[in-house]
Amino acid sequence: MSAEGALLFARYAYPPNELGYCGPADAAALLRRDATADIERRARQFEGAWCYLEYLAETAGIPDPLDARVVEAYWIGNELLDLVDPGALLERMTDRFRGQLGGTWREASGRAQAHHSFQVFEVYPWAPMLRTGGNPTALSVLDQCRIRTGVVIAADSEVATVRSRPLGWDGAGLVAGEWREETVRCSAGGMTLIDGLTPGDRVSLHWDWVCDVLTDEQARRIESLETLRHTELGLLAR
């Protein structure tokens, strides 16, 4: 098991786990850097994410679903996504998400992708709800549940102020909202998986949490994969 990959997984999985949306109880265990074996055990209980990690690892011939390359592919995106056969992934998902109602994933045979954006926009029911009624709750959940990017303005050991662009809805499609400043957390109970933030850092955000400091290429991948998802779903405003 890759300790690096386990910690990378934990950085992104902690916020929805803390909110009770996925994974086992005691989310704080994901922030214990010295307990990567426990993080691995917990990662297997994230039934949605683990399905993709297993598939990515198998497709790439990597024995460890928590290999850092596999984990990066799912949350951020990298070249391992290019190895995925959409039809084969969808077949794998049929058993895992059989009871998942309201999404568009069943019709996604040509566009299924082992990336978090696919889970958010196609497996969950929020995007169809947004399309049919401009549902403000759906827009808020999609905005927060996706992995988004921001730039650090100021930070201390507990919180950071970042500049980011929320999702907006213009009545016909998703648009990038106006730049805003938001306050996000980078530690909980004195525990963190980030060694420090500096103004100007490009970061990834999940719910109200800073997940990691990104390279420019990683930020570009997150943004381009989300734009692709919106385009394929016909959610991109024209």
Structural domain span for residue 87: 3-119
**pLDDT tens, 45-96?**
998 899 999 999 999 999 999 999 999 999 999 999 999 999 999 999 888 8
The CATH number assigned to the domain holding 171 equals 2.30.30.140
Give burial (CB, 10 Å; 0-12/13-18/19+) of 159.
middle
- The CA distance from 149 to 82, in Å, is 22
pLDDT of residue 132: 80
Q: Do 99 and 146 fall within a single domain?
A: no
Overall pTM surpassing 0.75 (yes/no): yes
pLDDT of residue 147: 98
Q: Do 109 and 201 fall within a single domain?
A: no
**pLDDT tens, 103-153?**
888 888 889 999 999 999 999 999 989 888 788 999 999 999 999 999 999
47 occurs within a structural domain = yes
213 occurs within a structural domain = yes
